[in-house]
Chains A and B, each alone.
Chain A
Amino acid sequence: MVATETDNIQEDLMSRLDSAVSEVFEMMLDRNCAPLDTEVDIDERITACIRFSGAITGECLVYASQTVAQIAAEALLGTVSEPSDPMVDDAVGELCNMIAGGWKSKLDPSYAVCLISVPAITRNPVLDLASHPGVTYNRCYAFQGNVFGVSLAF
């Protein structure tokens, strides 16, 4: 089957996302992180959302189970925390911030004129991009057997 231009664009976008996610985990958490071939259902989510505005209009979501978010927070901070600790939510927000910013930095410079919002973070399970009017791209990643998801929509 011949790859369409849309397929190539999607592959390019996701490749840049994979690179951004990998950099964040290697540099900030000292963990290897790899994309998964399939999407995984994640319950009891903590979700962080960043909005892009300007040359790009859209959103980036990072979501993880409370347990995985706690593990990521501990790796980031170097200290142990409880799943209910507000710092765990904050950690997901910062991961979203860095992944969104890193992905944006890998785009063509013409897209650099784009603002990113501060992250909005919730444990409300209804926050997702299912009803987003544009195109949505989803990817799950794993580090040390722990799975989290990233969604891009614009």
Chain B
Amino acid sequence: MRALIIDDSAVMRKVIERALRQAGLELLEVLQASNGEEALQALRADKGVASPIALIMSDINMPVMDGLQFLETRRDENLAPGVPVVMITTEGSEPFVLRAIAAGAQGYICKPFTADQVKARVLPLLHAA
């Protein structure tokens, strides 16, 4: 499968990729974006691809476009419909969680996290998709 990881930290993108592989996901390709705008560009370019992106992991606090704005724009443009989005962020307060869910996120993981937490949140979503 192909995954899109959105985080302004290159270190965190690597950590998340590592956690996904530890969860047993066979990742053929991991696309990376450092903000919501780059992520939208990646999704627009992914339209019509034979094996489209099947999982999106996104931070919230990012420059240029944050994760919540990304979710809302993705929904408005109907990009990657049906693809599970899991937020992975330090913002664990209820207003952020509710806004993310309202904008289409299916999962929410607070940093710091363990690989087991990633596995527990992500695998059920992929099985259901």
Q: Which residues of A pack against B, CB within 8 Å? A: 23-24, 27-28, 73, 76-78, 86-87, 90-91, 93-94, 97-98, 100-102, 104-105, 109, 112-113, 115-118
**Is B110 positioned at the interface, with any CB of A under 8 Å from its CB?**
yes
Q: Is the CB of A117 within 8 A of B61?
A: yes
Q: Is the CB of A105 within 8 A of B9?
A: no
What are the 8 closest A-B residue pairs judged by CB atoms, nearest first?
A: A101-B90, A112-B93, A27-B112, A90-B11, A28-B112, A24-B112, A91-B11, A98-B111
Beyond the given pairs A28-B112, A93-B11, A97-B111, 8 more chain A to chain B contacts, judged by CB atoms under 8 angstroms and listed by A's residue number, are A27-B112, A28-B113, A97-B61, A98-B111, A101-B90, A102-B111, A112-B93, A117-B61
Which of B10, B89, B90 touches A87 (beta carbons < 8 Å)?
A: B10
Q: Is the CB of A116 within 8 A of B93?
A: no
Interface segment among B12-20, B24-32, B39-47, B79-87: the answer is B12-20
Q: List 15 A-B contacts (CB under 8 A).
A: A28-B111, A77-B18, A78-B18, A87-B11, A90-B9, A90-B11, A94-B11, A94-B12, A98-B90, A101-B89, A101-B111, A113-B93, A113-B95, A116-B61, A118-B61
Chain A residues contacting B9 (CB-CB under 8 Å) are 90, 93-94, 97
* Docked CA distance A73–B10 (Å): 12
Interface set, chain B 93-121, CB cutoff 8 A to A: 93-95, 110-114
With an 8 Å Cβ cutoff, the count of chain B residues facing the other chain is: 23
Query: Taking the nearest CB of chain B, how far is it from the CB of A18, in angstroms?
Result: 14
Query: In chain B, what residue has the closest Cβ to A26?
Result: B112
Q: Which residues of B pack against A, CB within 8 Å? A: 8-12, 14-15, 18, 61-63, 89-95, 110-114
User: A interface, by DSSP: helix, strand, loop or mixed?
Assistant: helix
Chain A residues contacting B92 (CB-CB under 8 Å) are 101, 105
Query: In chain A, what residue has the closest Cβ to B62?
Result: A118
Chain A residues contacting B111 (CB-CB under 8 Å) are 28, 97-98, 101-102
CB-CB under 8 A for A27 and B90, given A87-B10, A117-B61: no
Q: Which of A78, A101, A105, A115 has the most CB of B within 10 A?
A: A101
